[in-house]
Structure 1
Amino acid sequence: MMEITNYELRPERKARIVWSVVEKITNSIGALKILLLVVTLFSILPTFGQYTIPEKPSFQTSVYDYANVLSASEKSQLEEKLIRYSDSTTTQIVVITIESLKGEDIGILTPKWGHTWGIGGTEKNDNGVIILLAKAERKIWISAGYGLEDRLTAGIGGEITRNIIIPEFKAGSYYNGLDKGTDALFDVFKGKYKGERKQSKKDGGFPILPIIIIIIVIIIIISKSKNNGGNSGSSGGGMSLTDIILLSSLGRSSGGGFGGGGGSFGGGGGGGFGGGFGGGGFSGGGSGGSW
């Protein structure tokens, strides 16, 4: 009887196949770079939104429910709880709800709002947290001031959003989500928060995005080497503007999902929570999610 054996490619053969694919892609690098540039431009279009942050209100408190997602009693309870917490800790947690982002990126708008209003205990401490909820887009984002970033990391903020806040939103209660979410923030700053990472059932596979990014970077490097080889007299040793845009966009997108962001916003002015916002130093990071 004829014996049947499984056919497997040897490592050398696999390497040659991968390299041949890379070479073929490299030969069409011009078209690939144009395609990547178009995708990159479309990916950053949402950052050019039309949302105008309102002027810092004369009465500065802890809850601004512009989207009217809370009842009068719910707003009052949440507001008083956060003010009491600020009075005892100097940490200002401000909740803002809006009807729509109007095309803005919530991860950019949130820390920018914190900077514009100067949310935080003092400019020296920057103990401010801003929670922004966009009703129409069903998105929420949490950003911490410089003084709290070491405790409220993007990872912890993401856990609180996914595991505590959003389930309550899905159940139909904005108040419960914000109430329990801010309680979790209290625990974080007390050092008592115990996170629980919930693994998605779809997880477990080998991440393909990092491989794609690495291959694209290699292709760009090879392309530059081929273009510059044999042209030593030229000054073209640096990367083109297209390369810089592509590489920077890949770096931003590699974090995936609702991770932290870049950028930096300086401090504001004012007094305490009762007399005004006084911090405002936000790094532009944070975390959030949608439902």
Structure 2
Amino acid sequence: MNKLLALLLFCLLPGLTMAQDVPLLRGYVNDYAGLLAAETVQRLEQTLGDFERSDSTQVVVLTVPSLQGEDIEGFSIRVAEAWKIGQKGRDNGAILLIAKAERKVRVEVGRGLEGALTDLVSGRIIRGEIAPRFKQGDYDGGVTAGVSAIMAAVKGEYSAAPRDLRHGKKSAPPVVGLLVFLGVACIFLGALSKVLGGIAGAAGLPILASLTFPGLGLAVLAGLGVAGFLLGLLLAFLFGGGGRGGGGMSWG
């Protein structure tokens, strides 16, 4: 029995020792990777402090030199659980996490902000505001723009439209919007029940097809209904889980 326990500990200890400690929360801006100028840190401290006092929402920034092999989502969740950002009972906090070595960014969002800072909005903020500046080596500008966008999203003032739409380029065909709507419906209903996600797909795909291609036969629509049901189940299974919200990506 003792040998079995020793073997189990031997297998588990490497994984436990690889996880780095959660950094101490020193303020609104915790620049452990040394990416930001002192003036930027001071300015963001003032901005985020004013934002919390006016809106009660807490937004903090964390930069780390490396994730040391850990997944950014898992690390950001550990940080969120340790720091407990947001007002007690409201969970209205967000963490902008930057991992320098891995060139990864994530916005970890408390449940109280998931309605405003959805995965879609967080992803757009990273892709549209942060990553382009980081690619140019402008960490100060990227973090500042990201923080401003997060605050705007919390207040309902951030446009989550892609950058090409904001600059007046040709938008996607209406059918693309319908497909996106159908996918979101499957995911949303799937969060409540996988079957509901499947039903949304079964009803939505034939309707979408009939609007896009009038004159389709009943057999074709029935086949699309089956395909839509399976697609809805798949989307609900992949994206309909619970837990904290957030979005992340690499700028490399």
Q: TM-score if structure 1 supplies the norm length? A: 0.53
Alignment partner of 1:189 is 2:189: no
C-alpha contact (below 8 Å) 2:20/2:67 kept by paired residues: no
Task: Work out the CA distance in 2 between the residues paired with 1:145 and 1:49.
Answer: 27
Task: Work out the CA distance in 2 between the residues paired with 1:120 and 1:290.
Answer: 26
Q: What code does the residue aligned with 1:145 have?
A: G
- Aligned residues between the structures: 173
- Within 5 Å, give how 1:1-291 maps onto structure 2: 50-54=18-22, 56-57=24-25, 60-122=26-88, 124-197=89-162, 254=238, 264=243, 283=244, 285-291=245-251
Shift of 1:68: 0.3
Task: Work out the CA distance in 1 between the residues paired with 2:65 and 2:235.
Answer: 31
Task: Work out the CA distance in 1 between the residues paired with 2:56 and 2:158.
Answer: 19
Task: Work out the CA distance in 2 between the residues paired with 1:49 and 1:289.
Answer: 26
C-alpha contact (below 8 Å) 1:55/1:117 kept by paired residues: no
Task: Work out the CA distance in 1 between the residues paired with 2:116 and 2:248.
Answer: 16
Task: Work out the CA distance in 2 between the residues paired with 1:130 and 1:120.
Answer: 10
Shift of 1:191: 1.2
Q: TM-score if structure 2 supplies the norm length? A: 0.61
SS across alignment from 1:96: strand
Q: Please give the root-mean-square deviation of Cα atoms over the aligned residues, in Å.
A: 3.1
Task: Work out the CA distance in 1 between the residues paired with 2:241 and 2:125.
Answer: 21
C-alpha contact (below 8 Å) 2:22/2:82 kept by paired residues: no
Q: Alpha carbons of 1:133 and 1:125: their partners in 2 closer, same or farther (altered >3 Å)?
A: same
Structure whose CA Rg is larger = 1
Q: What code does the residue aligned with 2:50 have?
A: R
Structure of higher RCO (CA pairs closer than 8 Å, 6+ residues apart): 1
C-alpha contact (below 8 Å) 2:93/2:113 kept by paired residues: yes
1:176-207 superposed Cα distances (whole Å, 9 cap, x missing partner)? 111111111121111111122258xxx99xxx
Task: Work out the CA distance in 1 between the residues paired with 2:82 and 2:238.
Answer: 29
Task: Work out the CA distance in 2 between the residues paired with 1:92 and 1:181.
Answer: 14
SS across alignment from 2:101: coil
Q: Alpha carbons of 1:162 and 1:190: their partners in 2 closer, same or farther (altered >3 Å)?
A: same
1:269 aligned partner: none
C-alpha contact (below 8 Å) 2:20/2:68 kept by paired residues: no
SS across alignment from 1:286: strand
Task: Work out the CA distance in 2 between the residues paired with 1:108 and 1:252.
Answer: 22
Q: What code does the residue aligned with 2:20 have?
A: T
Gaps of 5+ in 2: 1-14, 165-171, 174-233
